[in-house]
């Protein structure tokens, strides 16, 4: 399913703030602007703020109060890392972030376990056939993760 296009980091932050307001969550945002401040630009020369193409990269870190506790790191490269109760989802497309958060806070996300090989996964279904699934460390099952278990 096609998600609304979020062309910039600021557009994604605005969409997350609207979702937080809808679910009555407190939100805090930290912005890093410039090639010398973003996390993936460690090789930027000293005092260089723009990329070689002249653009100004913008990265944001958003924290949403839970339950569940969620943090979103939006990268200038159109992707994000979303952490739900300590479980990290890497390389989520920026356009999918609002749908991902809506699934988590709307009660669609769930955990699923297996006996062999033993493991527990956090599954986040999005509209259409898009699903994200990450392994939960065995000693990391929080009350929210345990409550959302399906057999």
- Which pLDDT does position 151 carry in this prediction? 60
Pairing of strands 110-114, 87-93: unpaired
- Which pLDDT does position 46 carry in this prediction? 56
- Which pLDDT does position 115 carry in this prediction? 78
CA distance 79 to 91: 5
Is the Cα torsion angle 138, 140, 146, 149 positive or negative in sign? negative
- Which pLDDT does position 68 carry in this prediction? 93
- Which pLDDT does position 142 carry in this prediction? 84
Closest by CA position to 86, among listed 108, 57, 111:
111
Query: Alpha helices of the chain — where are they, by DSSP H?
Result: 9-22, 97-105, 143-147
pLDDT by 10-residue block (mean), the chain, 151 residues: 80 95 94 62 54 67 92 90 95 95 95 82 92 86 80 60
CB 17 within 8 A of CB 27: yes
- Which pLDDT does position 56 carry in this prediction? 64
CA distance 79 to 97: 9
Measured from the Cβ of residue 95, the count of other Cβ atoms closer than 10 Å reads 19
CB 33 within 8 A of CB 40: no
- Which pLDDT does position 58 carry in this prediction? 73
Q: pTM value? A: 0.85
């Amino acid at each position: 399913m096609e998600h609304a296009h979020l062309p910039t980091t600021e557009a994604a932050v605005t969409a997350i703030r609207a979702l937080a307001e809808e679910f009555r969550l407190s939100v805090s945002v930290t912005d890093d602007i410039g090639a010398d401040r973003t996390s993936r630009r460690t090789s930027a020369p000293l005092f260089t703020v723009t990329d070689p193409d002249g653009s100004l990269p913008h990265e944001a870190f958003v924290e949403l109060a839970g339950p569940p506790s969620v943090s979103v790191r939006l990268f200038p490269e159109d992707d994000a890392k979303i952490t739900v109760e300590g479980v990290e989802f890497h390389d989520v497309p920026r356009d999918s972030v609002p749908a991902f958060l809506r699934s988590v806070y709307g009660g669609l996300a769930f955990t699923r376990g297996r006996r062999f090989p033993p493991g527990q996964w956090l599954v986040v279904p999005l509209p259409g056939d898009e699903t994200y699934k990450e392994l939960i460390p065995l000693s990391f099952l929080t009350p929210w993760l345990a409550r959302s278990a399906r057999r």
